[in-house]
Amino acid sequence: MKLSVSNSRGKDAAGRDWFIPEDGRKQLTQLFAKLPNPVVLDVFTDGDEKNAFNGYTRRFAEDLSLIIDKISMHHHALDSEEARRRDVTLSPTLFVGTGEADPKLDYRIRFTGAPLGEEGRALVESIFLVSLRQSGLTETSRRILSQLQEPRRPRVFSSPGCPYCPGQFMHAAKCAIERPGLVEAECVNSDEFPDLSKKYGVGSVPHTQYDDAHKAIGLMPEERFVLELVTLKNADELMREHGMEPGHEGHDHAHGAHGMEPEGLDVVETDMVVLGAGPAGLSAAIYGERSGMKTVVLDKSVVGGQVTVTPVVENYPGFTDIAGLKLVEVLSAHARQYATVREGETVHEVKIGKLIEVYTNRAVYLCKALVFATGAQWRKLDAPGEGRFYGRGVSYCASCDGFMYRGKRVAMIGGGNSALTDALHLKNLGADVSIIHRRDSFRAEKALQDSLEREGIAVIWDTVVEEILGDTVAPVREGDGGDGKEGKDGKDAAPGTAPAEPDTGVVRGIRVRNVKTDAVSELPFDGVFVAIGHIPNSEQAAELGVVLEKDGSIKVDRHMRTNIPRIYAAGDVTGGVRQIVTAVGSGATAALAAFEDTQNPYWKKKGE
């Protein structure tokens, strides 16, 4: 059975029950107004009326085909010949392609489950790239992928609230466009298909299953994703095989084997470079550009920093409450009106000379001022089992992984604003959550404490985690990615990820100790979420000779200047009160100071 929906604008009849709201239809119409080539959406469903996701997916695709000239939609039954040809067994499934009969000319980009929430971003970007008939991969990634000789079907497991998942899946989608016929990219909604998630041991997202044996957790740099897709090996292992130290692949690529000048990298001249696209970095970009300084913002992960994984922000002026992702969208849209913001670009080295040179995996930037707005990473418990069970029940991101713990028992470790906010989020998702706190009172805001009491969330006071307990299963490896969901290396590692241990497993509980009585007990839990503070991402600044405070944060004056002229810092990396509003203010201050100092260099003697 097959149903085709035409693109006729006449179908926009009065009384149509649109799935996409009017504002959304207007935005999508503007967004897709200049699609150069046709895009075909193929939707497969099993006819189960009780499965709401079937209707969501089909109606969403139908709406797109009605409002966008270049998009057409076809519906297929799950028992159809077309479903068998494409090996579709789960409902709903949506393909984005060109519609070409020749598989070498069509792209196999598959969404298993309704592409709602954050997956919707990946769907929109996939439509764009398919219409362009271009992968958008970097030259390095294309060169690596050209060596692929065997078929690959990378599966990226995601959840609707994970801001890192779209980026990881788009690595796979770009590979599918670059090598049609060899690569099929699949985005799996782990919340809709728990049995499939359980089969592959998905406990944290994004979880990438390259094949039955090779897997990774976290958002990875594009080039590393492609390398592991081609070789089906851990990139760290490959580097050791070639006598290289993991974590330095980008540096070696940029400078050659013997410290030669970078080859094949674009050289970009600008006035100011901002490292980090969180609130501080975006604010610095706005104020820098408005002062007349051409500004580029670089982030190794995604825009927004830790705000992206904050379920609700209740103390930002102008908003009674706003979802963290929504606030990021507002800040990002404002910053992009002025400055260039580049995501997924890792800085490997900074040199200070007449101009400041910033070397990344994609370009060399020459600038007059540099702002470190690199934020802070989540602090680990350093308890036995933490690394072993990361991605198997241990998580540092309630927004990313909370969906998988609905109806399950979870422990939230911590007593600050982040811990209480995440506990309330988990409760709202349907998890049975308890807070484990080492003190007899919270540090968090009273408003959050009041909300906790209203929700009836249990608190176990004066207690620390001695060990995370679980069952041993097949090993899982952390990935290399961005801001909270990346690898194992201390320099490039994620906020919150722990070093991998030999075995791994599924969390079954925790061993705790009461700090007043020393009594030890074991508590049953299916998941453990950790929110016990932050560690500043100040390593690169320290390598330059920037002075740090005792806690590792960057030492700055009231103008956000460091001890090195032309180097500034703003936001959480400077310590102090870690709030979005203070980060925004410090970013603006740093940019204004940079502008003033380029006009009147305070480090030069008069008359020079």
Catalytically active residues, by annotation: 397, 400-401
Q: Are residues 71 and 36 in contact, defined by beta-carbon separation less than 8 angstroms?
A: no
Label residue 276 left, alpha or beta by phi (over 0 means left) and psi (-120 to 50 means alpha).
left
Q: Which two tokens stand for residue 239?
A: 């580097």
**Which residues contact residue 91 at a Cβ distance below 8 angstroms, ignoring those fewer than 6 apart?**
44, 45, 46, 48, 51, 54, 78
Helix (H) or strand (E) holding 421: helix 417-429
Q: Of the candidates 563, 544, 557, which has an alpha carbon nearest to the alpha carbon of residue 589? A: 557
* Pairwise CA distance, residues 30 & 484, whole Å: 33
The SS3 of residue 209 is strand
Label residue 136 left, alpha or beta by phi (over 0 means left) and psi (-120 to 50 means alpha).
left
* Pairwise CA distance, residues 180 & 133, whole Å: 11
Helix axes 324-336, 279-291, angle to 10 degrees: 20
* Pairwise CA distance, residues 460 & 436, whole Å: 5
Size (the chain), residues: 608
DSSP 8-state symbol, 192:
T
* Pairwise CA distance, residues 92 & 73, whole Å: 14
Q: Are residues 508 and 547 in contact, defined by beta-carbon separation less than 8 angstroms?
A: no
- The dihedrals phi and psi of 369, each to the nearest 5 degrees, come to -145, 145
* Pairwise CA distance, residues 413 & 435, whole Å: 6
Q: Of the candidates 179, 113, 108, 125, which has an alpha carbon nearest to the alpha carbon of residue 148? A: 179
The SS3 of residue 271 is coil
- The dihedrals phi and psi of 192, each to the nearest 5 degrees, come to -80, -25
Q: Which two tokens stand for residue 463?
A: 């207690």
Q: Is the dihedral of CA 45, 49, 51, 52 positive or negative?
A: positive
**Which residues contact residue 606 at a Cβ distance below 8 angstroms, ignoring those fewer than 6 apart?**
none
* Pairwise CA distance, residues 41 & 431, whole Å: 35
Strands 155-158 and 207-209: antiparallel
Q: Are residues 186 and 110 in contact, defined by beta-carbon separation less than 8 angstroms?
A: yes
- The dihedrals phi and psi of 574, each to the nearest 5 degrees, come to -95, 0
* Pairwise CA distance, residues 258 & 265, whole Å: 17
* Pairwise CA distance, residues 54 & 93, whole Å: 9
- The dihedrals phi and psi of 348, each to the nearest 5 degrees, come to -100, -25
**Which residues contact residue 558 at a Cβ distance below 8 angstroms, ignoring those fewer than 6 apart?**
589
Radius of gyration (C-alpha) of the chain in whole angstroms: 25
